[in-house]
Structure 1
């Protein structure tokens, strides 16, 4: 478990390897390898390998390999 940087309010779950960035409020789940960026409010689920970018409000699900960009709404 690695907790660093600015305002990571909550990092919990199983095998969350890295949670970093600015104002990442909550990163949880199983095997979320990397959650980073600015104002990523929530990244959760099973085997979400990478969720990053600016203002990605919510990314969740099973085996979503990469979710990134600017103002990408929740995955359908």
Structure 2
């Protein structure tokens, strides 16, 4: 990694400068790790069969027909 540090008058690191490609790679890696964390977190949640989900979506997306007297 080609990081450059910005330091204050006492020599403490206060910021970092990265080449844009390295920054983008870090962001991508963090996003992948977050996705993995969410997958693991949701493993214990209830699941629904795809056929049931398709039925629910079809019912919601179907045009509403007014009831006839």
Q: State the TM-score, normalized to the length of structure 1.
A: 0.18
Which of the two has greater strand per residue?
Answer: 1
Higher relative contact order (CA 8 A, sep 6+): 1
Which of the two has greater helix per residue?
Answer: 2
